[in-house]
Amino acid sequence: MAERTKAGTLPIELAPGKVVEFTVVRSNRKTLGIEIGKNGPKLRLPLRASERSAVQFVQKHASWVLSHLEKLEKLKEPEQPQHRQSSPEAGQRELTPEALESLKQRARELIPDRVAYYAPKLGVRPARITIKAQHTRWGSCSKAGNLNFNCLLVLTPPEVLDSVVVHELCHMLEMNHSKRFYARVHGVFPQYKQCRKWLVDNGSRLLAMLPLN
């Protein structure tokens, strides 16, 4: 059966005096999602999601949206001749200590909030949440219920960040990657596979931004 959809637009204030118009696409999905592409910002909503909940969702991720809109504008600017960078990637800059600390601070503000949102859905209570700059992991969970998250998650789409949060929370119930574990993940976060693919396709580019020391 084809997915039912309904489209429209919704202007949302993301900062004082900064109003951004989102293309709204409603469908049979269960969760809210934000996309930033060459045609502008798009907000994907369940058919019955209220406009108020949509605005609150976007404003919660305002810094992420504004950051990606700024990057999009820069991509539209005429290219200037430049030397090819050899490390960490061509056109990819290593984060400065100041920028990295700023990311960690944003992560400390956002990620615990997302953990608090999903933990009751799984009936778990994390012991401690730690934000790190990790070169190989997006998140981890200890047997004591301590959760670790990569600060670079704040540079991913909101639903991708949420997918990592749900993944680690589910490890508090299943310390493995069995079928039962993934059944729990998909039960709370049905679009987990798409988000996982996004990390596989784009994660190395983000991880390359971390300083080597």
Does 81 fall in a domain?
A: no
Does 89 fall in a domain?
A: no
What is the residue range of 131's domain? 97-207
Residue 95 to residue 149: CA distance in whole angstroms:
18
> Exposure string (b/e) for 7-21, b if CB count within 10 Å is 16 or more?
eeebebebeeeeebe
Does 191 fall in a domain?
A: yes
Say whether pTM exceeds 0.75.
no
Residues 56 and 102 grouped into a single domain: no
First CA to last CA distance, the chain:
52
Read off the tokens for 117. Answer: 């949102």
Domain containing residue 154: CATH number: 3.30.2010.10
Does 132 fall in a domain?
A: yes
Does 88 fall in a domain?
A: no
Location of structure tokens 């949102």: 117
Residue-wise pLDDT tens digits, 166-202? 999 999 999 999 999 999 999 999 999 999 999 988 8
Residue-wise pLDDT tens digits, 76-127? 544 433 333 333 333 346 788 888 898 899 999 999 999 999 999 999 999 9
Return the ∠ at Cα 8 (arms to 153 and 29), rounded to 5°.
50
Choosing from 16, 44, 76, the residue where a domain stops is 76
Residues 202 and 103 grouped into a single domain: yes
Residues 101 and 70 grouped into a single domain: no
Read off the tokens for 169. Answer: 């929370």
